[in-house]
């Protein structure tokens, strides 16, 4: 049984990974990339905060119970002297025991509290949390887009690295064959010792390049695995070709593309929503300068006996309604400084938003130029490849005819 289990484990670990297209990699990265998951959690948290601020506008219902045990029996009050002319009534003020009936006291309440006026503090807090939620959602979109870009780079990075490794191995193999051929020619007297030494040095210089290409291939595979949200050493098998199939942008489209990027890039939208959230927070802090009003309904009940009972007749009950008004007349400038703090934070965020938009505009122009330059470079290198292939064909023909040497 142990041998069978070991064999199964070995099969699982040595089983090659199934080939994945670029679309499959993009789908997996958008679902499992750690930065995307973190951004999604933050967006969900901001939505929960918005719900909490909205719920604060509604009535709040609470209930409570209290058990109090005194260290002695509370004193009784003889009220008969109140009916005797000239008699001094009993003094009851200042005795804390007089608020209780028995040594063991049970009471409770049901309370409903509704804010009536908060100076706009709660409304602006709700608006601030809404803008904050939109900012986090835009940040989540930015994380998704970044994951897509990183996946595309990592995907084709693996394909490129594997191709470079393959070419390096082919170069080493070709040089090894060429060295054998030159050594044979040297023995036959048709090649010199210099030709042999030159080929050997070239072979030695390409072996480290092959090792470096192998290391680059492994790093590219690990990078793709991390981008997909996998273990860095998990096997990946991208399947694709290095070809660009999309339309190339035209020069007259540059300005429209730049404006579209500044307006719609998630990073820019997140920065603008963050500015709006801080503006609403400043208004919410200003609400602390105004009076605060709330209504409260209380339903109270008190046990008539010194033992806890579930009998409804053993409890007294009454209700009351309160209108509560409060106003912070003096706070040593704390509320004013909070408003100033929010205003300064808003100004700082506005500067960050301007910087983000400027960088997006510059990046859009730079990427546009890079794409156009790459298009021209690809066309040039295609011509270079045609020229190299023709030159190789001519060299092979001359070599066969004995017009040129093996070197």
**Mean pLDDT lowest for which of 65-79, 82-96, 365-379?**
82-96
* 163-177 average pLDDT score: 93
Per-residue pLDDT at 24 exceeds 90: yes
pLDDT at 11 over 50: no
pLDDT of 87 above 60: no
Between residues 39 and 312, which one has the greater pLDDT?
A: 39
Q: Quote the pLDDT of residue 10.
A: 47
Residues 6+ apart with CB under 8 A from 146: 35
- Among 9-13, 39-43, 110-114, 214-218, the minimum mean pLDDT is found in 9-13
CA distance 179 to 173: 10
Confidence of residue 16 (pLDDT cuts 50, 70, 90): low
pTM greater than 0.85: no
DSSP 83-111: GSTTPPPPP-TT-GGGG-SSSEEEEEEEE
Give the pLDDT band (50/70/90) at residue 12.
very low
Percentage of the chain lying above the pLDDT 70 cut: 89
DSSP summary character for residue 157: H
Q: Compute the residue count for the chain.
A: 407
Q: What is the pLDDT of residues 285-340, one digit of tens each?
A: 999 999 999 999 999 988 888 888 888 788 889 999 999 999 999 989 999 999 99
At residue 303, the 3 state secondary structure works out as strand
Among positive and negative, which fits the CA dihedral 256, 257, 260, 262?
negative
Decide which of 244 and 308 is more confident.
308
* Of the listed ranges 243-247, 386-390, 401-405, the one predicted with least confidence: 243-247
What band does 246 get if pLDDT is binned at 50, 70 and 90?
Answer: low
SS3 content of the chain, % helix, strand, coil (to 5): 65, 10, 25
**Mean pLDDT across the chain, nearest whole number?**
88
254-264 and 266-286 are packed helices; what angle lies between their axes, rounded to 10 degrees? 40
């Amino acid at each position: 049984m142990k041998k069978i289990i070991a064999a199964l484990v070995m099969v699982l670990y040595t089983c090659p990974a199934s080939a994945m297209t670029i679309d499959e990699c993009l789908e997996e990265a958008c679902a499992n990339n750690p930065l995307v998951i973190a951004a999604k959690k933050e967006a969900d948290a901001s939505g929960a905060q918005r719900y909490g601020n909205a719920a604060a506008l509604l009535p709040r219902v609470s209930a409570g119970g209290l058990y109090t045990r005194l260290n002695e029996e509370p004193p009784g009050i003889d009220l008969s002297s109140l009916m005797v002319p000239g008699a001094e009534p009993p003094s009851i003020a200042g005795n804390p025991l007089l608020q209780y009936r028995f040594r063991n006291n049970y009471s409770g309440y049901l309370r409903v509290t509704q804010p009536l006026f908060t100076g706009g503090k709660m409304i602006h807090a709700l608006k601030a949390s809404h803008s904050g939620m939109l900012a986090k959602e835009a940040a989540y979109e930015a994380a998704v887009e970044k994951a897509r870009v990183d996946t595309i780079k990592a995907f084709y990075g693996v394909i490129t690295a594997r191709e470079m490794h393959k070419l390096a191995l082919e170069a080493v193999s070709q040089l090894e064959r060429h060295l054998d051929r030159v050594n044979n020619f040297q023995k036959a007297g048709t090649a010199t010792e210099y030709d042999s030494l030159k080929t050997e040095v070239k072979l030695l210089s390409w072996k480290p390049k092959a090792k470096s290409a192998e290391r680059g291939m492994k790093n590219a595979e690990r990078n793709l695995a991390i981008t997909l949200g996998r273990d860095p050493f998990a096997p990946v098998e991208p399947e694709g070709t290095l070809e660009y199939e999309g339309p190339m942008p035209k020069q007259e489209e540059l300005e429209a593309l730049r404006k579209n990027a500044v307006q719609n890039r998630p990073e820019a939208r997140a920065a603008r929503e963050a500015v709006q959230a801080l503006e609403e927070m400043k208004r919410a802090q200003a609400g602390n300068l105004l009076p605060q009003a709330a209504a409260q309904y209380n339903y109270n009940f008190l046990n008539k006996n010194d033992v806890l009972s579930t009998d409804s007749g053993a409890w007294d009950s009454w209700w009351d309604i309160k209108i509560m008004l409060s106003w912070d007349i003096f706070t040593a400038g704390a509320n004013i400084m909070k408003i100033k703090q929010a205003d300064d934070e808003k100004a700082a965020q506005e500067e960050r938003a301007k910087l983000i938009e400027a960088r997006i505009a510059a990046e859009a122009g730079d990427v546009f130029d890079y794409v156009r330059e790459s298009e021209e470079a690809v066309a040039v290198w295609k011509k270079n490849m045609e020229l190299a292939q023709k030159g190789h064909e001519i060299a092979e023909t001359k070599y066969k005819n004995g017009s040129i040497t093996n070197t």
